[in-house]
């Protein structure tokens, strides 16, 4: 597999050193189809994500790159990984040959020469006679251009370009900018732009060779600068580029990370940092399994991004400069996606980073009076629904990641965000008055907004109870049950309801809607997906649906009915379908595990391998949907290890079925090991589970049990267990 992928220009395989797990990472996974990942050079959660761009507008180019495109507009230093919208693409640079002035600044890529591994990317531009190599530190991008032909050679610096929704925005999205030629080797500047968010970026470029001639290509705007050189055949020019949210001076301090450091040393250091992340989990499997697993681990750590400078200063959402004591401030918080599995996974394998992310969320609250919804480059874009920073913060408190000295402050932020801060998607007085968001009083997404908010309310109730705030507990636990007000017994589905209590007509349970002002009342889904979105009270949902037998039957229908897609808006996010289950989008991610709660865990055990096999592959189109800043990858990691957080704020993980004969999670000073006995294609059912030699009480395991270290053993068999005699029913999570 590795050889054929390398031939396709995907992965550079190096030595067989078993400690180098980066050889099992394919950065091209998800760069085709709807994965929307990028293949360029970055460090774990680094500020700089230096990657090629084939185009700078359109949904297909949300990351700037598409594997099937063989033309190039340049290499930019900031990107989004696996999202469904576009922004960034800042400080674009393109090496080229001949006349500095062209009608179009675009180059042809030799796709056979294109290779990438963590912290490194390379491609040859044959018509330009340039071989490009890229690497990165946390705050710096390092370019190495080998001009193969010699003669007149150029580097384009383009501050007008960026990733935008449509081509007309390329002319208007930069609001203000400045490019300064400080001397023959140094260029600095800034840009203020607006696409998904309004942001400021400062930069400095240091060149290894003096510029022979420079000229702005766009007249008075002075955002596109050509740097020209006379080169000999095979001559190398390196460019070191540092960025900052704070100032040019901040960028210059950040430049010290890579200043006077040889390119190969930068590359090796990046690889070592990636190995440190990847080695947090060791698995026993074949090469295909390792490629899928460690590529998922890689995508998990591409973001969120620490956008604080080396001295800890950063620009907050209030446009003021703040100081971080930990020298970290995390942004690219795609919380609607990542609260489900990515953050619970961080709490296990990178709890210190999860703590810094939570601190960043609280710092965001200090600046805005509201916990973040979806932040990019430190700015709020209010994308998606719910305020899922709430379950992340509450979960960190119960897991001991958030210090007890911060508990009262964190809870105050939770309470204010869920009661005082009405915003476009939520009018809290209306929500509290009716016990749901009425379809006739809100613009769109009434069902999804209500259901997702109940999960936040449950997390708030749990924390209020722990802190002895009984009145608040009663208020939030009541709201956590609001999902019941949208259940239509005639269809056994969650349905839009008007303020007078009547059901919205007409009602098509298969019609997808995307929100964003559309007439639909679901978010990137339909009634069949969202009727299961009661992560915090599955047992209550089972009772609402008529008991375990009726619940199982309804679940069976979800996975077996036709994969019909129809809707009023864009349905591009509706992908990876098995019946009406949509693995390519996050609201479905917990659903396969719900059979556990209905007394049929073997059905979960049948489904998980099917989803893993059909929705994840080691190929450019190997992701069935947007990776969404690591959430799709987190689902894969959890599900192959054999457990998953249905309720991500409960500290409880639901047992599935492991994919590996053995796995080991590295904890602080100990390990949590997973052993699977009798695993084979025929032996697909979990006959029994033991924790440290004793039968596991329930098809669940807790965070505390995992973090204590120990051994989780699965005994596999060909047949379904009649009843799990050694286990008790799944724990209830209705009450905090």
Give the burial string for 455-469 (b: 16+ CB within 10 Å, else e): bbbbbbbbbbbeeeb
The set of residues, in sequence order, having a beta carbon less than 8 Å from that of 450 and lying 6+ positions away, is 431, 436, 437, 482, 483, 485, 486
What span, in angstroms and rounded, lies between the C-alpha atoms of 708 and 507? 50
Query: Does 5 have pLDDT greater than 50?
Result: no
Mean pLDDT of the chain: 94
Domain ranges (residues) in the chain: 2-281, 422-588, 590-736
Q: Within 13 Å and on the Cβ side, how many CA atoms surround 372? A: 32
CATH code of 590-736, in short, is: 3.30.2080.10
Selection from 89, 28, 87 nearest residue 53 by Cα: 89
Selection from 586, 524, 576, 535 nearest residue 337 by Cα: 586
Tokens 């390119």 label which residue?
A: 263
Give per-residue pLDDT as tens, 335-391: 999 999 999 999 999 999 999 999 999 999 999 999 999 999 999 999 999 999 999
The beta-strand segments (E) located in 118-263 are 120-125, 130-136, 140-147, 151-158, 174-183, 186-194, 198-207, 213-216, 224-231, 235-244
Report residue 733's pLDDT band, with 50, 70 and 90 as the boundaries: low
Query: Does 605 have pLDDT greater than 50?
Result: yes
Q: What pLDDT does residue 513 have?
A: 81
Tokens 């080998």 label which residue?
A: 146
Peptide bond into 377 cis (omega under 30): no
Q: 444 or 327, which is more confident?
A: 327
The set of residues, in sequence order, having a beta carbon less than 8 Å from that of 320 and lying 6+ positions away, is 367
Q: Read off the pTM.
A: 0.95
Given a contact cutoff of 8 angstroms between Cβ atoms, the answer to whether 30 and 627 are in contact is yes
Q: Within 13 Å and on the Cβ side, how many CA atoms surround 324? A: 26
Report residue 736's pLDDT band, with 50, 70 and 90 as the boundaries: low
Within its chain, how far is the Cα of 41 from the centroid?
A: 17
Query: Does 617 have pLDDT greater than 90?
Result: yes
Peptide bond into 506 cis (omega under 30): yes
Query: Does 79 have pLDDT greater than 60?
Result: yes
3-state DSSP helix/strand/coil % of the chain, to nearest 5: 30, 25, 45
Query: Does 519 have pLDDT greater than 70?
Result: no
Give per-residue pLDDT as tens, 187-208: 999 999 999 999 999 999 999 9
Given a contact cutoff of 8 angstroms between Cβ atoms, the answer to whether 320 and 367 are in contact is yes
Element (H, E) at 494: strand 493-494
| Structure letter (DSSP) for residue 333 | B
The 3 state secondary structure assigned to 561-587 is CCCCCEECCCCCCCCCEECCEECCCHH
Q: Residue 647 to residues 15, 255, 452, 543, 691: CA-CA distances in angstroms?
A: 42, 43, 12, 18, 21
CATH topology of domain 422-588: Glycosyl hydrolase family fold (1.20.1610)
Given a contact cutoff of 8 angstroms between Cβ atoms, the answer to whether 483 and 450 are in contact is yes
Q: What pLDDT does residue 735 have?
A: 56
Task: For domain 2-281, say whether CATH 2.70.98.10 is its number.
Answer: yes
């Amino acid at each position: 597999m590795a050889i054929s992928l390398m031939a396709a220009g995907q992965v550079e395989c190096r030595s067989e050193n078993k400690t180098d797990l980066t050889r099992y990472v394919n950065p091209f996974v998800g760069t085709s189809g709807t994965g929307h990942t990028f293949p360029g050079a970055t460090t774990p959660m680094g500020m700089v994500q230096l990657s090629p761009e084939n185009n700078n507008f359109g949904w297909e180019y949300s990351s700037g790159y598409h594997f099937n495109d063989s033309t190039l507009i340049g290499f930019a230093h900031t990107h989004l990984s696996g999202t469904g919208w576009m922004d960034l693409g800042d400080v674009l640079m393109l090496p080229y040959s001949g006349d500095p002035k062209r009608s179009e600044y675009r180059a042809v890529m030799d796709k056979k020469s294109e290779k990438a591994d963590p912290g490194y990317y390379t491609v040859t531009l044959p018509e330009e006679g340039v071989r490009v190599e890229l690497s990165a530190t946390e705050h710096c991008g390092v370019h190495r251009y080998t001009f193969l032909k010699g003669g007149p050679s150029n580097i384009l610096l383009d501050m007008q370009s960026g990733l935008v929704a449509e081509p007309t925005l390329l002319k208007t999205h930069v609001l203000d900018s400045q490019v300064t030629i400080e001397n023959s080797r140094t260029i600095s500047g800034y840009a203020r732009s607006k696409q998904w968010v309004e942001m400021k970026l400062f930069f400095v470029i240091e060149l290894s060779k003096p510029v022979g001639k420079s000229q702005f290509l766009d007249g008075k705007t002075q955002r596109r600068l050509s740097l020209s050189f006379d080169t000999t055949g095979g001559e190398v020019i390196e460019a070191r580029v540092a960025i900052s949210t704070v100032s040019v001076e901040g960028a210059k301090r950040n430049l010290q990370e890579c200043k006077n450091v040889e390119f190969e040393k930068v590359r090796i250091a990046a690889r070592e940092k990636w190995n440190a992340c990847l080695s947090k989990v060791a698995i026993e499997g074949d090469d295909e399994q390792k490629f899928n697993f460690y590529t998922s681990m890689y995508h998990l750590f591409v973001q969120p991004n620490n956008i604080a400078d080396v001295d800890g200063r950063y620009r907050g959402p209030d446009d003021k400069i703040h100081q971080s004591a930990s020298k970290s401030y995390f942004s690219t918080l795609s919380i609607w996606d990542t609260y489900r599995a990515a953050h619970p996974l961080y709490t296990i394998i990178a709890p210190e980073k999860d703590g810094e992310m939570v601190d960043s969320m609280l710092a965001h609250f200090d600046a805005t009076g509201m916990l973040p919804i979806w932040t990019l480059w430190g700015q709020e874009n209010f994308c998606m629904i719910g305020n899922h920073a709430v379950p992340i913060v509450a979960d960190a408190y119960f897991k001991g990641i958030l210090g007890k000295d911060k508990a009262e402050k964190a809870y105050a932020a939770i309470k204010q965000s869920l009661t005082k801060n009405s915003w476009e998607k939520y009018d809290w007085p209306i929500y509290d008055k009716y016990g749901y968001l009425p379809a006739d009083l809100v613009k769109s997404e009434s069902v999804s907004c209500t259901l997702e908010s109940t999960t936040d309310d449950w997390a708030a109730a749990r924390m209020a109870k722990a802190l002895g705030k009984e009145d608040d507990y009663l208020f939030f636990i009541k709201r956590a049950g609001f999902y019941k007000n949208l259940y239509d017994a005639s269809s056994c589905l969650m349905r839009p309801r008007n303020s007078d209590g009547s059901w919205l007509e007409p009602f098509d349970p298969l019609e997808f809607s995307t929100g964003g002002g559309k007439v639909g009342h679901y978010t990137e889904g339909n009634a069949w997906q969202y009727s299961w979105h009661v992560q915090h009270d599955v047992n209550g949902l089972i009772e609402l649906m008529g008991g375990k037998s009726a619940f199982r039957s309804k679940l069976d229908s979800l996975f077996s009915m036709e994969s019909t897609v129809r809707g009023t808006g864009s349905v591009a996010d509706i992908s990876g379908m098995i019946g009406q289950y949509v693995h390519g989008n996050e609201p479905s991610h917990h659903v396969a595990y719900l059979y556990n709660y209905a007394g049929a865990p073997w059905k979960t055990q049948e489904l998980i391998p099917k989803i893993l096999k059909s929705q994840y592959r080691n190929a450019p189109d190997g992701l069935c949907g947007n990776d969404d800043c690591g959430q799709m990858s987190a689902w894969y990691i959890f599900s192959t290890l054999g457990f998953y957080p249905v309720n991500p704020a409960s500290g409880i993980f639901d047992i599935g079925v492991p994919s590996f004969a053995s796995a080991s999670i590295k904890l602080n000073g100990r390990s949590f090991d997973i052993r699977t006995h009798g695993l084979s294609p025929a032996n697909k059912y979990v006959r029994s589970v033991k924790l440290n030699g004793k039968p596991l009480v329930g098809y669940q395991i807790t965070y505390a049990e995992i973090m204590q270290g120990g051994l989780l053993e699965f005994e596999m068999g060909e047949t379904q267990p009649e009843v799990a005699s050694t286990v008790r029913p799944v724990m209830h999570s209705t009450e905090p």
